[in-house]
Structure formats: structure tokens, C-alpha cells
Structure 1
């Protein structure tokens, strides 16, 4: 079948069941797996059903095909981690269909994270300079990551359906026109639905971060917003129907400010 987008793969009922099964564990993982399987289908010219039949006919020949795929990706300059991630849904799809397993496939420099080789933690001076140039909402988002150690997906999840709310800061007090704290640094509780490990944990926002958050929330109040325990800590864009920012939008928010 001609494949134009990764969603075309869902016309195959077996693919749809595999995809929905993955998505029950993680929406992000399910969507990425479908896109990555589509990438292999496009390169190889095989449909998902043909991938399974090829593997069952001769796992050796199919192994060689996948090894050729890896060689192609390396010539294209793709990172080892990127290539490894593209292979995972192929293995998953074969396993789901009870096809023979692929043998280990070596990837050049697989133990080296090339994308982070030049990365480093900013100095205090650099961090202070970044905060000075950020707008209030951007500043709070950056402070929650830098000072409280939160993941971007805690502020707003993959599809914008959940995120950190004011009720997750039990020591924050919402007044009529002002924000105050029972204790500083103030506690942040991360609910299981926002935790990568799937369990509840807590962290703390520093005094500087508390000041940024207070300023930001009070500006929202002065603009007429009624804050409650269910209000998102980082408000979504006005044009969106979602209650929270998408995780990608949170990252864009900070990068744009920097």
C-alpha cells in the first residue's frame, strides 16, 4: 500500500492494535514508534505485513536488510542514539507478530552521545544573565527547571492535557490580589501522572524561584485571571483550547526567551 503519512499505517488493523498497545504505556512512545516504523517502511519499500513475512521467510536475509538500513543512516550522518531508536520499533513490531528476533546489530560509536559532547552546565553568571533577559512566564518556566530540577513534561505533558497546577505547591497561598508562601524554599509535589517513573515525589523551589513565580502569578491576577488550586502554574497560549502547554511548547518558550 502507498504510505504518505505515518497515520496511513493504522489502516492495517494489526498495526493499529500494536500502536494502541504501545500507547497505553506511553502516548509519546506509541506515536514515535509508529513514525519510526513508517520511516523503515518508506526506506525499504515494505509494508508492515511484508516486514513480518520477510522475517518469517528468512530472518537472515531480513537481518541483512536492517543492517543495510543502519549503514545508510550512518552515511547520512545520523547519530548513534537516533539510529538505535529507529531500530527499536522494528524489533517491537516483529515481536508483537511472533516473528523471529533480529540478532544484535552494531552501531558505530554507540556508546557516545554525540549530541551532548559540547554541552555543559551554565555558570552562575551565565544563568543570571539568562534570567535577566527572560519575560516573567519564561523566567518561571526556566526557574522550575533550573532551581527545582523539574522535567519539561512536568510543566505541560505531551498532549497538553495535564501539567503542574498551583495545588501542587501546598505551601503557596493565593490571596485576593497577592501571592505568598507559608515556607520558602517552597515544596512542589509531582503527581504520578507527571512523573517519568510513575510515582509521586517532591522537590523544592528556591527563594529566587519563589520571587519569580510570585511576580508572574500576581501579574496574571492583575490582568483579571482568577487563580485557583486547579490553575496551571504556566498558563497556556490564549489561542489554544488545552488547559496546559504542550511539552514541546514549554521548551520553545524557554529557548525563545534565551
Structure 2
């Protein structure tokens, strides 16, 4: 059953144009979770990973690893990492590489910028088309723990004198950080660049999990794995899993 499910998933991923290196990272996350629960199979799908690709030997962090990561980061890092893990968005949604844009509080409709509190959890996250890799807007969700982290981060920013409005970036630059990389939008909002956020997360990951040295992009692989496991248990449908990850319906993974 498990082998058939994974084989079908691999075929779907390949049809969708995903390289074997990407599939290998996602499968590593699945096997890591199963190993944590003493249920890891010996069988592995036949994948061809190019020589020298870091993904081949990369191990996705366990639940315990993520807890250690969160304990070592700052308030902004905690909010960013939990957003990535719970929503499954790419880092470029929070901190965009190519444009002066990123996720704003208006994209979190249940976040009240007056009280800096969410009115409901789990909360909705609306990903605008310009931040989506497929150029299609989609909706995903954040957890209660993520809500608390975002609230704490917003409160810290207000405490430093920043005005938090619906147009404010959810993740922004820290003016106290000398090397924070930023880009400004047309309305003057300061968005942290993807390179800057990735570097921050990478440093924390490698401090917490020195032996495996995972890269920041394993956050999305982690989320994809949790959704795949939920699908295998009949808790969600395949189409719903795909939509939460921002894929066009019919594209697996």
C-alpha cells in the first residue's frame, strides 16, 4: 500500500516536471517522519539525483529538531519559520527576491492591526498572484502557534515605534540589524529580501542541527510531507493538498 502510494506520487511529480532531486528531498522528509515513529520502510523509490546535488544527502528535520530551531531564533525568526512550516509557502512569499513586494497583513484577513490579535485560528492566508510561483492566487492556513508568534512579532515592532497597518509587511527589516537586506515597495513599505531571510534561517538551522546542515527550503518539504501523510490517512483529499501548496489542480506534490 505504502509503496504503491509513493510510486504513484513519484509518477505524478515527474509528469508535473519535478526533478528527481526535488522528489528525493520530499521523500526524505516522509521517511524521516516515519523513522521518528519507528516505522521507516527499507524500500526507496528509484530516483536519479545528479552528482554533487546537496539534496541527495539532506535530511529533513524532525519535530524535535524544529523545536530546537525555534528555541534558538529571535522573535522575527520564530514568526517566519512557523509561517513557512504551517502554511507551506515558499520563502519568496515572505521576502521576495525579484520585486519590492511580499506578504502583507491585509493578506491575513483575520489579523486585527488595531489590537495586533487574530480573531480566529487556524487563520486564513491569502497568497496574491504576484507572490505565487504559478501566478495564481490561492489560500492556505496558519496554526494557532503561528498566530501567537506573529502577534508577538507585531507587538515587538509596535513597541519600537512602528505603525502596523494592513499594508505593512508581515515580515519586515530590522532597522537595528546593520546587514539586513531590504527592498522598498512603491508605497514605501520595507520588505526583507529573500536572501536576507534565507541566511537568517540557515544560520539558525545549522546552529540547531549542526550534523545535517539542512537548508532553509526544507520548510516547504516538511509541510508537503505532513499534507501527504494526512492524505494517506484519508484526512484530506489530493486536490486540497495541492491547492494548499499553491499548485494547479492535477499537479501532485
Q: Structure 2 length as normaliser, TM-score? A: 0.55
1:137 paired to 2:84: no
Q: Specify the alignment match of 1:253 in structure 2.
A: 200
1:171 paired to 2:82: no
Q: In structure 2, do the counterparts of structure 1 residues 160 and 134 end up closer, same or farther at CA, with 3 Å as the change threshold? A: farther
Look up the SS of the partner of 2:140 in the other structure: strand
Look up the SS of the partner of 1:146 in the other structure: helix
Look up the SS of the partner of 1:144 in the other structure: helix
Q: Specify the alignment match of 1:192 in structure 2.
A: 129
Look up the SS of the partner of 2:78 in the other structure: helix
Q: Which runs of 5+ in 2 are unaligned?
A: 1-19, 22-46, 185-189, 206-253
Q: In structure 2, do the counterparts of structure 1 residues 197 and 160 end up closer, same or farther at CA, with 3 Å as the change threshold? A: closer
Q: Deviations over 1:42-86 (max 9, x none)?
A: xxxxxxxxxxxxxxxxxxxxxxxxxxxxxxxxxxxxxx98xxxxx
Q: Deviations over 1:140-192 (max 9, x none)?
A: 111111111110100121145000100000011112xx421121011100000
1:153 paired to 2:100: no
1:215 paired to 2:162: no
Q: Structure 1 length as normaliser, TM-score? A: 0.54
Q: How many residues align?
A: 149
Please give the alpha-carbon distance, in whole angstroms, between the structure 2 residues aligned to 1:218 and 1:139.
Answer: 14
Q: Which has the higher helix share?
A: 1
Please give the alpha-carbon distance, in whole angstroms, between the structure 1 residues aligned to 2:172 and 2:155.
Answer: 13
1:116 paired to 2:45: no
Q: Which runs of 5+ in 1 are unaligned?
A: 1-79, 82-109
Q: Which runs of at least 4 in structure 1 moved beyond 3 Å after TM superposition?
A: none
Please give the alpha-carbon distance, in whole angstroms, between the structure 1 residues aligned to 2:142 and 2:167.
Answer: 19
